[in-house]
Structure 1
Amino acid sequence: MEQRQQLAKTLKPHWVWAIAFGSCIGWGAFVLPVDWMSMAGPLGVIIGYSIGALLMIVIGVSYGYLVEKLPVSGGEFAYAYYGLGRYHAFFCGWFLTLGYMSIVALNASALALLAKFTMPAFFTKGHLYTIAGWEVTIGEIIIACLALIFFAYLNIRGASLSGLSQFIFCVGLVVAVVLLTVGMVLHPSSSFSNLQPLFKPGTSSVAAIAAIIAIAPWAYVGFDNIPQAAEEFDFHPSKSFKLIFWALICAGLTYAFLIIATGVGMPWMNTVDAGFMWGTGTIVENAFGRFGVLILAFAVMMGIFTGLNGFYVSTSRLLFAMGRAKVIPDSFGELHPKYGTPKLGIWFTMAACLIAPFFGRQALLWVVDMAALGVTIAYFYTTFVAYRLFRWSDQDTGKTRDISLIAPGRKLIALIGVISSIGFFLLLVVPGSPGFLGTPSWIALLVWVALGGTFFLTRYKNYSEMPKKDLDLYILGDFKDSENSAGSLTTEPEAK
């Protein structure tokens, strides 16, 4: 059997926190506050995202434990394999890849939206065509593509460079958000009365909050970038949960600050009715003129940069782990000879996302809405595997030799995580629920499922016949489980 490729341990704790926090706070935190308030009202959004953050922390308990137990690239892909076998691993990895890649593409398109707002004289020119009501211009295509190329190059140059850059971007993001919020609250034209009514009229407060909770998996996706980078920690993986916890707390506060900063500027109902291209941008411009727009544009740019960089890291590591396991072509499991980065995963992510700017932002939103389903599936696998690992008591099984696994509190939290994941899933797929996917998103989902099915069939023979002990090594490394010397919970027979 060929030698297993291994990523170098170069990521510091504050860099990893920045990867998680910065990935949670992308373009949406700055571009969508008005849209969210139209769904639930200001207080409905804040409560919904606060509850969402708490539910993510509950799910994060399972992530923290599994990162410590399995500190390897691949995250949920590795956990699904460890707990349920190779076919579940493919299913989980396939949907998660789409979720990560679509967020890379959407952050690049958000940069184009920012350029259209701040420099309309240039970026609204050169109209090419219209897709789903969105006018695609040559300027936005160029800026989105340049951003994708730049961050691919940044990630190729090494995890240390991308990790340090992420931390710098996050510091700039936090400073700008605090300045904007304090400035808007203290501005003479601002008033907290503009936040009235606190909930969307004509909708119950419970339904309004539920509508926001339904999109929480999308809003907070990014904290799960921590397990994707686990193989590269230069610290003990037991710190993972603390990093996840603080990343989610900071993300929740950021969402709340930006809702307040947007809402106090003018009556939010008027903002919704006005149909501004960018509500937050217009409100800040009315209060502080172009200077305010520059600060906001800097904050948005930092948010976009952290999203692009963070999800380049996670997507490339997921593809690397799947390539190393021979689930996808072996070349994805190879490292750059000089920088030790998963080169093909990075270039493939860039190439796939370079297609997106040509389809317009509205069409891309359909894919992202559907991608929330993939992230929810990954949450389910992680919490379910953690639930299977923990024991209610030493009488729960006669096989437990690891005392740390006898943890009824953690098992209960994992169970709550499983239920939350199922709840998120149902909010997206049950007709009539607040977060039910639209028809275009369902079409995009079916296309992705068909592609996955076709791809799986082409790889099925080799993947199914690979000996389990080889897959254990490729996916889990030299990890040996205390209860199963084969290195996983599954008991599938050895392939012939």
Structure 2
Amino acid sequence: MSERVELEKTLSPFNVGALALGSIIGFGCFILPSDLMAKSGPLGAAIGIFLGAIIMIIIGRCYGFMVREVPVSGGEFAYAYTGFGRNHAYLCGWFLTLGYLSIVPLNATALALLAKFIAPGLFEQGYLYTMAGYDVYAGEIALASAAIIIFGYFNYRGVKDVGKVQLLMVGLLLGAVALIGGGTALNPDTSVANLLPPFAQDKGMIASILAILAISPWLYVGFDTIPQAAEEYDFPPEKGFKLIFWSIFLGAVMYVIVLLSTGMVFPWTELVAGKHNWATGYAMEHALGKSGVIFLVVGISMAICTGINGFYMATSRLLFGMARAKILPKWFVNVHETHKTPSNAILFIMLFSLLAPWFGRQVIVWVVDMAALGTTFGYAYTCFGCYIMAKNSTTITAQESSTNKAWGLVGGAFSIGFLLLLCVPGSPGFMATQSWIALVGWVALGIVFYLSQTKEYNKLTKAELDYLILGTEKPVSQ
């Protein structure tokens, strides 16, 4: 058996935290406030967002334990293997792969949506066709492709470049949100009274909060870039949970700042009446003038770009980790001699992402909605894997074992709840028919791929897989 290929330890805590926070805060932070208020009212939405953060921190606690115990590339793939074995690892990894892959072009195509707000018609040039009700333009494909290539280049060049670029962009993102919140709060024309009534008029307090709580877990997708990068920490992996906690907490704070800032400018019931294509943009322009729109444009641009950058990193490490276990072709394991990055995995992500915009944004959204199921699988495998590892560990105290078993069971229960929200008809997160069709296709492809790779994967002994996936001592017989 060949030697286990490893990645260099070059990421600082600030780099890793920026990757996670930038991946959490996306386009929706600046576009969704009116929708969230219409669903639940300002206070109902804010409480729902924070309660969702608490649930995700509970799940994140399980991730923190697993990062400490299994600090390798592959994240949930490795955790599923640790707790449940090779077949479950493949199932988890297969679903996560599409989930991560699809988020890169989803963010890239969001640039065209931003352009429609700030420069209508600029990129709507070269009409090609309509797919799933979405008009596809050559100009918008070129814009998305440029972003995909630029961030692919950064990721190819080295993880240090990724970390530095992400840190700069997250700094700009934080600054934009702070200026939006501070400027709105200090403006004499804005009023807290505009946030009344605090909850949706057609719902009570509890129903308003639950309506947001049901969808809030997916607001925080992106914190799991932290475990994907664990092999490249230049610091002790024990700090993983602190980074997860702060990325989720700050993400919640940023969502709520933009939400309440939007609602304070006008009576929120008037703002969400559907008269404005972009309620947040309209409110900020009224409250802060052209500078408010500039802050928003900077914030949205950075949110989109940090998402592309972060999920390039996370996806490439997942592909690398799975290929190292021989469940994906060996080609994905290649590490660039100079840049020390999983270069082939990054090139694959770039090529896949460059194809996606040709299908139109609506198709990508269906795939991402379906892929949310894979993300939730990752949560469940990590939490229950935490329980199993804590139960079987001989290196931690009885008290720590008991504590982590409890976190694992609670986090696992929440994860199952999220799965039900996606799969039970009538629930707030139930997937569209098109997403179910995409799911059937992806499962069928996964079965075919598994059967084609299973011979080599299954002939590996447990000791060999432990070495390849977890980095344990190489089997003596080899």
Whole-angstrom CA distance in 1 between matches of 2:277 and 2:343: 37
Whole-angstrom CA distance in 1 between matches of 2:316 and 2:138: 28
Whole-angstrom CA distance in 2 between matches of 1:4 and 1:473: 7
Paired residue total: 475
1:160-175 matches, within 5 Å, as 160-175=160-175
Q: Which residue of 1 aligns with 2:408?
A: 414
Q: Which residue of 1 aligns with 2:194?
A: 194
Whole-angstrom CA distance in 2 between matches of 1:389 and 1:406: 14
Q: Which residue of 1 aligns with 2:103?
A: 103
Q: Which residue of 1 aligns with 2:119?
A: 119
Q: Which residue of 2 aligns with 1:25?
A: 25
Change (3 A) 1:326 1:193: same
Q: Which residue of 1 aligns with 2:437?
A: 443
Whole-angstrom CA distance in 2 between matches of 1:431 and 1:210: 17
10-19 or 283-292, larger mean C-alpha shift: 283-292
CA deviations over 1:402-423 (Å, ceiling 9, x no partner): 2435432222122110111111
2:109 touches 2:361 (CA, 8 Å); kept in 1? yes
Instruction: Give 5+ residue unaligned stretches, structure 1.
Output: 392-398, 481-485, 487-496
CA deviations over 1:148-178 (Å, ceiling 9, x no partner): 0000000001011101111111111111101
Q: Which residue of 1 aligns with 2:449?
A: 455
432-441 or 253-262, larger mean C-alpha shift: 432-441
Q: Which of 388, 394, 401 is the equivalent residue of 2:394?
A: 401
462-471 or 334-343, larger mean C-alpha shift: 462-471
128-137 or 381-390, larger mean C-alpha shift: 128-137
Matched letter for residue 271 of structure 1: L
Matched letter for residue 45 of structure 1: A
**Is the counterpart of residue 297 in structure 1 residue 297 in structure 2?**
yes
1:389 touches 1:405 (CA, 8 Å); kept in 2? no
Matched letter for residue 383 of structure 1: C
1:209-228 matches, within 5 Å, as 209-228=209-228
Matched letter for residue 103 of structure 1: I
1:57 touches 1:248 (CA, 8 Å); kept in 2? yes
Shift of 1:430: 1.1
1:4 touches 1:324 (CA, 8 Å); kept in 2? yes
**Is the counterpart of residue 425 in structure 1 residue 412 in structure 2?**
no
Q: Which residue of 1 aligns with 2:470?
A: 476
1:47-446 matches, within 5 Å, as 47-274=47-274, 276-391=276-391, 401-404=394-397, 406-407=399-400, 408-446=402-440
Whole-angstrom CA distance in 2 between matches of 1:65 and 1:479: 21
Shift of 1:381: 0.3
CA deviations over 1:254-301 (Å, ceiling 9, x no partner): 111011122122233333332543322232233334332122101111
Change (3 A) 1:140 1:276: farther
Shift of 1:319: 0.3
Change (3 A) 1:22 1:415: same
Tell me how large the CA RMSD over aligned residues is.
Answer: 1.9
2:123 touches 2:143 (CA, 8 Å); kept in 1? no
1:217 touches 1:372 (CA, 8 Å); kept in 2? no
Whole-angstrom CA distance in 2 between matches of 1:477 and 1:196: 56
The SS at the match of 1:136 is strand
1:214 touches 1:428 (CA, 8 Å); kept in 2? no
Instruction: Give 5+ residue unaligned stretches, structure 2.
Output: none
2:124 touches 2:139 (CA, 8 Å); kept in 1? yes
Change (3 A) 1:283 1:137: farther
What percent of counterpart residues are identical?
51
Matched letter for residue 397 of structure 2: S
Whole-angstrom CA distance in 2 between matches of 1:276 and 1:98: 34
Whole-angstrom CA distance in 2 between matches of 1:186 and 1:276: 24
1:10 touches 1:159 (CA, 8 Å); kept in 2? yes
Q: Give the TM-score normalised by the residue count of structure 2.
A: 0.95
The SS at the match of 1:354 is helix
Change (3 A) 1:4 1:109: same
Q: Which residue of 2 aligns with 1:492?
A: none
Whole-angstrom CA distance in 1 between matches of 2:134 and 2:459: 47
119-128 or 94-103, larger mean C-alpha shift: 119-128
Whole-angstrom CA distance in 1 between matches of 2:239 and 2:121: 48
The SS at the match of 1:295 is helix
CA deviations over 1:437-480 (Å, ceiling 9, x no partner): 22222222222212212211211222122222221111111269
Whole-angstrom CA distance in 1 between matches of 2:463 and 2:411: 30
CA deviations over 1:381-411 (Å, ceiling 9, x no partner): 00001111224xxxxxxx7632435432222
Q: Which residue of 2 aligns with 1:396?
A: none
CA deviations over 1:66-85 (Å, ceiling 9, x no partner): 11111110000001111111
The SS at the match of 1:260 is helix
The SS at the match of 2:243 is helix
Q: Which residue of 2 aligns with 1:483?
A: none
22-31 or 356-365, larger mean C-alpha shift: 356-365
Matched letter for residue 404 of structure 1: T
Shift of 1:14: 0.8
Change (3 A) 1:479 1:261: farther
